[in-house]
A = this chain, B = another copy of it.
Amino acid sequence: MIDLQRRGLVMAAGGVLAAGAVNPGWAASTGRKLGYAIVGLGGYGLGRIIPQFQNCQHSRLVALVSGDPAKARKVAQEYGVPERGIYSYSDFDRIRDNPDIDIVYICLPVFMHAEYTIRAAQAGKHVMCEKPMAINPAECEQMIAACRKAGKKLMIGYRSRFEPHNVEAIRLARAGAIGNLRYFRSEHGFVVGDANTWRMKKAQSGGGSMMDIGIYALQAARYMTGEEPVAVFAKETTNRSDPRFREVEDMIDFQLEFPSGAIGSCMSMYSANRNQFVLMGDKGRIELEPATAYSGQRMWVGQERSDKTEVKPPPGPYANQWVGQLDHMAQCVMQNREPLVPGEEGLRDIRIIEAVYRSAREQKRIVVQS
Q: List chain A positions with a Cβ less than 8 A from chain B.
A: 180, 182-183, 185, 187, 191, 231, 233, 235, 237-239, 251, 253, 255, 257, 261-263, 265, 267, 269, 271-273, 280, 282, 285, 304-305, 363-365
Contacts and interface: CB of A to CB of B under 8 A. Distances in A.
Given A191-B304, A365-B363, A255 B235 contact: yes
Contacts of A271: 182, 282, 304
B263 A285 contact: no
Given A233-B255, A365-B365, 7 more contacts: A182-B237, A233-B235, A235-B257, A237-B263, A239-B261, A272-B285, A363-B365
A253 B255 contact: yes
15 contacts: A180-B239, A183-B251, A191-B304, A191-B305, A233-B235, A235-B255, A237-B262, A238-B261, A239-B282, A253-B255, A265-B265, A271-B282, A272-B280, A273-B305, A364-B364
A7 to B, nearest CB: 20
A155 B272 CA distance: 38
A158 to B, nearest CB: 25
A272 to B, nearest CB: 4
Contacts of A235: 233, 255, 257, 263
A251 B281 CA distance: 12
A190 to B, nearest CB: 9
Nearest to A306: B273
Contacts of A187: 185
A92 B322 CA distance: 72
B183 A267 contact: yes
B280 A263 contact: no
A182 B249 CA distance: 13
Given A235-B255, A239-B282, A365-B364, A267 B304 contact: no
A230 to B, nearest CB: 11
B305 A182 contact: no
A217 to B, nearest CB: 12
The 9 nearest A-B residue pairs measured at CB:
A272-B304, A237-B261, A253-B263, A233-B233, A253-B265, A363-B365, A237-B263, A235-B263, A273-B304
A263 B239 contact: no
A264 B365 CA distance: 17
Contacts of A239: 180, 261, 282
A323 to B, nearest CB: 29
A282 B238 CA distance: 11
A258 to B, nearest CB: 9
Contacts of A251: 182-183, 263
Nearest to A273: B304
Contacts of A238: 261
Nearest to A179: B271
Contacts of A365: 233, 363-365
Given A255-B253, A280-B272, A364-B364, A267 B185 contact: yes
Contacts of A363: 231, 365
Contacts of A257: 235
Contacts of A183: 237, 251, 253, 267, 269
